[in-house]
Amino acid sequence: MTYRAIGLMSGSSLDGLDLVFTEISVSGNNWSYRILHSDCRPYSSEWKERLQNATTLSAEAYLQLHSDYGHLLGSMVNDFIAAHGLEYKVQLICSHGHTTFHHPAAGYTHQLGDGAAIAAKTGIHVVSDLRNIDVALGGQGAPIVPIGELKLMPQFNYYLNLGGIANLSAHTSPYTAFDVCPANRVLNLLAQDEGMEYDNKGMLAASGTLQSDLLEQLHALPYYKKTFPKSLSNSFGTDTIYPLLKQSGYSTADLLSTYTEHIADEIRNALQLLTSTPVAEQQQLLVTGGGAFNDFLIQRLTDKLKGINIHTVIAEPELIQYKEALIMAFLGVLRWREETNVLQSVTGASRNSIGGAVWMGQPW
């Protein structure tokens, strides 16, 4: 059986909407995929500002934004379809939405981007709201990508996504995954203080000096002492870590260098927890997400992982950038088939679940 779906992903780094048109096939228990087309549609400065300020809005204004953003996503999908000649070829759209409020301990999570608006705008069936049922079942609602890694890329031992938040998955039994620490969201905020959108290849960070006292403060934050399953909201990076860095008074280059070291340390620490017994054979870690293009971060991480016999494998550029959008499409296919797409062992929920609301783009 083969499905042709579009996956949509908007990450906390706010660089734009990632879109993937993929052909996903299943034979028995074996899944495979082909990315046929991919694109990143940047947000306008107005939309960046609206998304950044979403959590400050009144309830009515927030609902208006939810609807407006859903229509924007639908328009972006229509433009993507037209650009690649995909009319009448797309069976399903799965949209992650843009996370604003994520407080699983209080029993709620929300992603902007009304799935009904996307379906109305495109005339294509849509899956959205992927996290809600897991949170209702007592889970973290995150990460949700691991089942896609497990089914589509089973040859690796570990999977690291270096997006706005760094998250890690382990191909263990039971399957384990959790958010490690904020990553690009904080690095980009620091780079923007110097008038740059981001620190290209980590060059500014590489020119800075590691500040040990600040590094110790970062490692002492309570989140890093929690056991998994655990997940992070975007606000941890923007409201906790970024102010802590700025209050230190160090130069931006030093802050970037120190925070890069923090990311690499926390990833190593997380992997050490997952590999508590020494392994004879070298383990493979697949690295994706925008941070995979940060040469300085990758070098620091690679150096630290040699001591625990883990080899970093940098994915091909298309998969680096679009893995999460690809897996959103896969989660939508699983939802359409009414099969498990969120794993209890990853999120801590009371059971596995079939996550996602379905919006019918056509009347049949």
Considering the domain architecture, whether residues 212 and 240 belong to the same structural domain is answered as yes
Residue 59's contacts (CB-CB under 8 Å, 6 or more residues apart) are: none
What is the percent of the chain where pLDDT is above 70? 98
Q: Establish if 228 belongs to a structural domain.
A: yes
* pLDDT above 70 (res 359): yes
pLDDT for position 278: 58
Q: With respect to residue 291, please indicate whether it lies within any of the assigned structural domains.
A: yes
User: Does residue 195 sit in the same domain as residue 311?
Assistant: yes
Q: What is the pLDDT of residue 15?
A: 79
Residue 235 — pLDDT band, cuts 50, 70, 90?
confident
Q: What is the CATH number of the domain that holds 204?
A: 3.30.420.40
At what angle are helices 252-274 and 212-219 packed, to 10 degrees?
40
| Residues 131 and 205 grouped into a single domain | no
For 102, the 3-state DSSP assignment is strand
d(CA 333, CA 33): 12
Looking at residue 232, its pLDDT comes to 87
Give yes or no: residues 197 and 256 share one domain: yes
Q: What is the pLDDT of residue 280?
A: 60
Mean per-residue pLDDT, 176-186: 93
Q: How confident is the model at residue 172 (pLDDT cuts 50, 70, 90)?
A: confident
Regarding whether 198 and 109 lie in a shared domain, the answer is no
Backbone φ and ψ of 342, nearest 5° = -130, 130
Do both 260 and 200 map to the same domain?
A: yes
Tell me: do 284 and 221 sit in the same domain: yes
204 lies in the same domain as 314: yes
pLDDT at 281: 76
Task: Quote the CA–CA distance of 347 and 150 in Å, as a whole number.
Answer: 15
User: 242 vs 183, 188, 291, CA distance in Å?
Assistant: 11, 10, 18
Q: Do 251 and 315 fall into the same domain? A: yes
Spatial distance between the Cα atoms of 118 and 120, rounded to a whole number of angstroms: 5
Q: Do residues 170 and 272 share a domain?
A: yes
pLDDT at 260: 98
User: How confident is the prediction for the chain on average, in pLDDT?
Assistant: 94
Same domain, 66 and 106: yes
pLDDT over 90 (residue 228) = no
Single-letter residue type at 328: M
Question: pLDDT value at position 233?
Answer: 81
Does residue 180 sit in the same domain as residue 290?
Answer: yes
Question: Does 13 map to a domain?
Answer: yes
Task: Specify the pLDDT at position 279.
Answer: 59
Instruction: Quickly tell me which residue has 């679009």 as its tokens.
Output: 322
Report whether pLDDT(267) > 90: yes
How confident is the model over 74-95, as pLDDT tens digits?
999 999 999 999 999 999 999 9
Residue 36 lies in a domain: yes
Kindly state the average pLDDT of the residues 184-201: 95
pLDDT digits (tens, 9 = 90+) for 99-139: 999 999 999 999 999 999 999 999 999 999 999 999 999 99
pLDDT per position as a tens digit, 275-308: 755 556 789 999 998 999 999 999 999 999 998 9
Number of domains into which the chain is organized: 2
Boundaries of domain holding 165? 147-319
Q: Which two tokens stand for residue 105?
A: 């301990």
Higher model confidence: residue 16 or residue 280?
16
364, part of any domain = no
Domain-located, residue 216: yes
